[in-house]
A and B are shown apart, each in its own frame.
Chain A
Amino acid sequence: MIPPSFEYHAPGSLADAIGLLKQHGDEAKILSGGHSLVPLMKMRFAAPAHIVDINDIPGLDYLKEEGGHLRIGALVREADLEASAVIAAKFPLILDATKLIADPQVRNRATIAGNLAHGDPANDHPAVMLALDAELVIEGSGGERVVPITKFFVDTFETALASDEVLKEVRIPIPPAKSGGAYFKLERRVGDFAIVGVAAQVSLDGAGNIQSAGIGLTNVGPMPIKAEAAEASLAGKAPNDATLQQAGQLAADASKPVTDNRAPEDYKRAMVKELTIRALRRAVSRAEGGN
């Protein structure tokens, strides 16, 4: 459990970090929370020659509501999300999911940006951000660009980030009134990656029908999955059992699980359906002002 040797850089500005990334290209990896990268290096599955530690860069740890968005800087830790009043008030989905990531020690260091940038379909935030229609602010040597979350995940462990780019900010639209979300996760053991995870976000109209819904699926395919057909099926409908059952089935149809150490494929698919129903039910209840 000793990584191969590497060169360590700790730039003091984003510009310097990007410069180092440009200089070393594929040989370099960004270190933020380190809870995905360091284990990979210790198991020698990853052997970057250069580590660019961005933890010393000031001004990246903001979490604020601004211009109709929640803006989360690259160095915001999972523990910061857990402690945030705006998240508790407006994003129960994020709070649910964050609390289920690993353990408190990990959450003290791990970052939401790292969780997304790793491109791991087993991570929890990708599905959450797919349900919330987040945007990602990316900065590189070519300047800044904003990428919708649906265009961010390219393949397993592969994202839209170029080798000289940094995921600078996660930007999430503030949900309208009468919105709610929930995250359900089946685990083999507390703190484990999901067997199946489902993120659901709904907004209700004045009549109590579903105006819009977002559904993201964790660890049931080579990439995080946005269950678009299931989302569409809910629009304009009353949130009754039949509606939720149908959405659950469509989400299961969208999943692409495989048999592994966690569970066989048939179980995972069935659980996508069941967890989608449960997550939607709780999301609706929260949108209605309940728990």
Chain B
Amino acid sequence: MAETTSESLGGIGQSVKRKEDLRFIQGKGKYIEDFYLPNMVYGVFVRSIFAHAKINSINSDAALKVPGVVAVLTEKDLAGVNLAWMPTLAGDTQAVLAGEKVLFQSQEVAFVVAETQAAAVDGASLVEVDYEELPVVVDPFKAMEPGAPVLRTDKEGQKDNHIFTWEAGDKAKTEKAFQDAEVTVSQKTHYPRCHPAPLETCGCVVDHNAFTGRTDIFMTSQAPHAHRTIFALISPFKEHTTRIVAPDIGGGFGNKVPVYPGYVLSAVASLVLGRPCKWIETRSENIQSTGFARDYHSEIELAATKDGKITALRVKTTADHGAFDAQASPSKWPAGLFSICTGSYDIADAHVQVDAVYTNKAPGGVAYRCSFRVTEAVYIMERAVDLLAVKLNMDPVQLRKKNFIKPEQFPYKSTTGWEYDSGDYEKTMNVALEAVGYDQLRKEQAEKRSRGELMGIGISSFTEIVGAGPRKQFDILGLSMNDGAEIRVHPTGTVMARFGVKSQGQGHETTFAQILAEELGIPEADIIVEEGDTDTAPYGLGTYGSRSTPVAGAAAAIAARKIRDKAQKIAAHMLEVSEADIEWKDYKFQVKGVPGKAKTMAEVAFAAYTAIPDGMEAGLEAVTYYDPPNFTFPYGTYICVVDIDSKTGEYKIRKFVAVDDCGIVINPMIVEGQIHGGLTEGFAIATMQEIRFDEGGNILNGNFMDYMLPTAVDTPHWDLDRTVTPCPHHPIGAKGIGESANVGSPPAIVNAIVDALSHLGVTNIEMPVSPWKIWRILHEKGVA
């Protein structure tokens, strides 16, 4: 018999092909748009054309005359069932349908329900809304000026547009460090408002059955259990009679974490009409009204000694949250994990302040492929380090190495309160430097400069913080951020495993099966993973913030080990030895010192249902809810090389080296795919994406013609490598990886472009870096 190895099982470290791709690649995935229930109606929104306006009246008469239109729901209908407002994940309130006034362009004003989607669209175009325009607040700084129009007149006691002030670190000590500093640098910068833009827009089908009392909700949810609990808290739907199913999801990236008015309206429509109701956004609706990301205006300052030791960091941020505070962050962390902004560096003192502001823009602030504002934190820190390097006339590599947290300092307690689990930053950086040929590139750059050619090298040595999170500090609306795993080993040795997280393309069906294969000695092909159905999945808070492997992946291993514990007892019984004489070796239960006397997990499984020892319950199942003791801290060094056309400002990323360390890698192919995707999104953010508004709050680029996703042709080639520093507290040593590349890449790209222009005195250029911005600089400097 062939020897059982991790490779033959498809265990940890194997590039097993993704189980889910068989259906995805052949167009057989099942997304919300694929759900057609008998007798279904369709809902379509009437959306505000103004960013801020009083609603005098809504006239639905013409819409109701359109053949096929069944109903037009407005705020008055919702108020009757106490659903005109809903709580946001951030603890604010959000209008489900606008009542007295609208607060952002494309806000939901009415919901037209019809027999067909076409009739609903026709009906929506005929709903007459009488608006009276109000002064619009677009700029978050102007929003805070005295006399600015107060937007949230619905909130009792709200006298201005300020939402919260949040601070971390020691203000006094930081001020002292800046007073004593030999060198300081500062930079104001804006991380633009961008959008996750998942390829599948948000949508749902709600099917309320008045006769069984049950409600099935098929929806684009990154967190089905959490969403069901929220539904139960805010609506007449009870948790035990409501089933949320998140089927295949075409990308989430944080956009499918919030609860949107469309879900609520579809539920109301189904409840009222007794028919299933489908709602699905158009692309423009998705970009214009659902959870955006970032929009942080930050001023960052570093204090340092003359020889380049960073002594203190100060950050002051104004966060534009839009009309409702609907950002998705753990409840006690209104600025998410932004205080991780000390990054990969050992800095004695830091003070961080974030002020959030209401403006007449769509609500959001979701963690777009990012663990709650970590992207914003990494961006400003990696930009600031480069700024300091220029000021000190030091190589940015040397400056980073000088300030890195050293391997022997782990676990490292940061001044803002985080305990970094593990890392060897210099080792990883050296792999990247070697791969890119750093010293040679600097020589080439010097030669090119002497000829007037523009070339830049940008570095980002980021640290992520993922896997929210320890129960004592992290919850969403009071729900602990723990996650469940439930495993059933069938008599024939195959396995069904269910999880509370929900893949949106991450490949859980494969990676979780690989963890179980490794732990149980059962081939991954014999293991099926199910997620997304609240009727069957164990409780959990869902997938975002790179938390699936750190939390649910850990739960998988722990639950598997519970199964192994019971199986060991059964194996001892089968082998007629005491349990202490059995060891788990080479993926089998072996009698110590007696090679060949062993039982496989499959053999034990059959016995678990057929020949159990006296006094033991039958079956081989386990359930675990995992409370992570800490976050995991994946990190990496990215190096970007750009060439700039000095006459047009166009630039090309010639080489991009990404060396990541996410601890133990479960499936290298999937990890590389994740990094490719994240790098491409980071590239898009750095170079082409920003949701823009005019002074009237009109969205200037609310569709894919003007809000751009890069194509394969635009996207640079990515050179990947990795180091492996296992996470000391995770059962299999893994860290999250889904988001590192989106977090780490924008500063590498911007640093490279600024570096190409640094000899001209350029220290900053704002994202997205359009060629015209570079041309303007070159033109001013007399180059173009």
* Residues of A near any B CB (own CB < 8 A): 1-2, 4-5, 44, 103, 186, 188-192, 195, 261, 263-264, 266-267, 270-271, 274
Cβ of B406 to closest chain A Cβ, rounded Å = 43
Instruction: Decide: A188 and B688 in contact? CB cutoff 8 A.
Output: yes
A-B contact pairs, 27 of them (CB 8 A): A1-B283, A1-B284, A2-B117, A2-B121, A5-B122, A103-B711, A186-B648, A189-B688, A189-B711, A190-B711, A190-B713, A190-B714, A191-B711, A192-B708, A195-B772, A261-B692, A261-B701, A263-B771, A263-B772, A264-B772, A266-B779, A267-B771, A267-B772, A270-B779, A271-B648, A271-B775, A274-B648
Q: Is the CB of B122 within 8 A of A4?
A: yes
B692 to chain A, nearest CB (A): 7
* Complex-state Cα separation, A263 to B779, whole angstroms: 15
A153 to B647, CA, bound (A): 31
Nearest 4 CB-CB pairings of A with B: A267-B772, A190-B713, A263-B772, A2-B121
Say whether A188 contacts B283, CB under 8 Å: no
Question: Which residues of chain A have C-beta atoms less than 8 A from B688's C-beta?
Answer: 188-189
User: Measured between C-beta atoms, what is the minimum distance from A118 to chain B in Å?
Assistant: 15
Q: Smallest distance from the beta carbon of A277 to chain B beta carbons, Å?
A: 9
Q: In the assembled complex, which residues on chain A have CB atoms less than 8 Å from the CB atom of B647?
A: 274
CA distance A278 to B255 in the complex (A): 43
* Residues of B contacting A: mostly: loop
For residue B648, which residues in chain A have a CB less than 8 angstroms away from its CB?
186, 271, 274
Indicate whether B480 reaches chain A with its CB closer than 8 angstroms. no
Complex CA distance for A80 and B118, rounded to whole angstroms: 35
Complex CA distance for A261 and B708, rounded to whole angstroms: 11
Closest-CB distance, B699 to chain A (whole angstroms): 11
* Contacting pair A261 B711 (CB below 8 A): no
Rounded to whole angstroms, the CA-CA distance of A103 and B704 in the bound complex is 14
**Contact (Cβ within 8 A) A189 B708:** yes
A186 to B770, CA, bound (A): 12
- CA separation between A195 and B706, bound complex, in Å? 12
Give the chain B neighbours of A44 by CB distance below 8 A.
Answer: 125
Contact of B771 among A4, A186, A266 (CB under 8 A): A186
Per the bound structure, the CA–CA distance linking A190 and B692 in Å amounts to 21
Contact status A270-B711, CB under 8 Å: no
Shortest beta-carbon distance, B690 to chain A, in Å? 10
Expressed in whole angstroms, the minimum distance between the Cβ of B568 and any Cβ of chain A is 58
A103 to B692, CA, bound (A): 26
B274 in the interface (beta carbon within 8 A): no
CA gap between A103 and B714 in the complex, in Å: 13
Report Cα–Cα, A43/B121, bound state, in Å: 11
The interface size of chain B toward A, counting residues with CB under 8 Å, comes to: 29
Taking CB atoms, residues of chain B closer than 8 Å to A266 are 776, 779
Closest B residue to A273 by beta carbon equals B647
Overall SS of chain A's interface: loop
In the bound complex, residues from chain A placing their C-beta under 8 Å from that of B776 are: 264, 266-267
Chain B residue with Cβ nearest A275: B648
Q: Are A270 and B706 in contact (CB under 8 A)?
A: no
Task: Kindly state whether residue B710 has any CB partner on chain A within 8 Å.
Answer: yes
Q: Is B770 touching A188 in the complex (CB atoms < 8 A)?
A: yes
* B779 in contact with A186 (CB, 8 Å): no
- In the assembled complex, the CB of A1 is this many whole angstroms from the nearest CB of chain B, namely 5
Distance of A41 from chain B, by nearest CB (Å) = 12
A192: chain B residues at CB < 8 Å are 708
A100 → B minimal CB distance (Å): 11
Question: Considering only CB atoms, which chain A residue lies closest to B712 in the complex?
Answer: A190
Complex-state Cα separation, A274 to B647, whole angstroms: 7
Give the distance to chain B from A174, nearest Cβ to Cβ, in Å.
33
Tell me, yes or no, whether B210 is within 8 Å of chain A by CB. Answer: no
A residues less than 8 Å from B708 (CB atoms): 188-189, 192
B784 in complex: contacting residue of A189, A263, A270, CB < 8 Å: A270
How far is the CB of B698 from the nearest CB of chain A, in Å?
Answer: 12
Q: Is the CB of B775 within 8 A of A267?
A: yes
Q: How far is the CA of A1 from the CA of B714 in the complex (A)?
A: 27
Chain A nearest CB from B703 CB (Å) reads 8
Min CB–CB distance A135 → chain B (angstroms): 32
**Is B650 an interface position by the 8 A CB rule?**
yes
Given contacts A1-B283, A2-B118, contact A261 B770 (CB under 8 A): no
One digit per residue, 1 when the CB lies within 8 angstroms of any chain A CB and 0 when it does not, for chain B 103-133 equals: 0000000000000011001100100000000
Q: CA of A191 to CA of B117 in the docked complex: distance in angstroms?
A: 31
Q: How far apart are A102's CB and chain B's nearest CB, in angstroms?
A: 11
| Cβ contacts under 8 Å, A190 to chain B | 711, 713-714
In the bound complex, how far is the Cα of B122 from the Cα of A267, in angstroms?
Answer: 41
User: Closest CB-CB distance, A95 to chain B, in whole Å?
Assistant: 18
CB atoms of A261 and B706 under 8 A apart: yes
A2, A186, A189, A270: the one contacting B710 at CB < 8 Å is A189
B667-703 contact mask (Cβ, 8 Å, vs A): 1 or 0: 0000000000000000000001000100000001100
Bound Cα distance A4, B771 (Å):
39
CB distance from B771 to the nearest CB of A (A): 7
Q: Is the CB of B784 within 8 A of A186?
A: no
Assess whether B282 is interfacial by the CB under 8 Å rule.
yes
A264 surroundings in chain B (CB, below 8 A): 772, 776
Bound together, the chains give a CA A66 to CA B688 distance in angstroms of 46
Contact with A along B534-574 (1 / 0, CB 8 A): 00000000000000000000000000000000000000000
0 or 1 for each of B268-287: is its CB under 8 Å from A? (1 = yes): 00000000000000111000
Nearest-neighbour CB distance to chain A for B479, whole angstroms, equals 36
B650 touches A186 (CB 8 A): yes
Measured between beta carbons, the chain A residues less than 8 angstroms from B779 are 266, 270
Contacts A2-B118, A186-B650 known; A270 to B775 CB distance under 8 Å? yes
* Separation of A4 and B647 alpha carbons in the complex (Å): 46
Q: Report Cα–Cα, A252/B360, bound state, in Å.
A: 39
Nearest CB in chain A to that of B709: its residue:
A189
Chain A residues, Cβ within 8 Å of B711: 103, 189-191
Q: A261-B700, A266-B779, A267-B771 are in contact. List 20 more A-B contacts (CB 8 A).
A: A1-B282, A1-B283, A2-B117, A103-B711, A186-B648, A186-B650, A188-B688, A188-B708, A195-B772, A261-B692, A261-B706, A263-B770, A263-B772, A264-B772, A267-B649, A267-B775, A270-B779, A271-B775, A274-B647, A274-B648
Residues of chain A within 8 A of B701, CB atoms compared: 261
Within 8 A of A (CB), among B704-739: 706, 708, 710-711, 713-714
Least CB distance, A51 to chain B, in whole angstroms: 16
A274–B122 Cα distance when bound, in Å, is 47
Query: From B768, which residue of chain A is reached at the shortest CB distance?
Result: A188
Bound-state CA distance A264–B118 (Å) is 38
Distance to closest chain A CB from B584 (angstroms): 54
A44 to B649, CA, bound (A): 36
Complex formed: what's the CA distance from A72 to B709 in Å?
A: 34
Q: In whole angstroms, how far apart are the Cα atoms of A264 and B708 in the complex? A: 18
User: In the assembly, what is the distance between CA of A263 and CA of B118, in Å?
Assistant: 36
Least Cβ–Cβ distance between B73 and chain A, in angstroms: 20
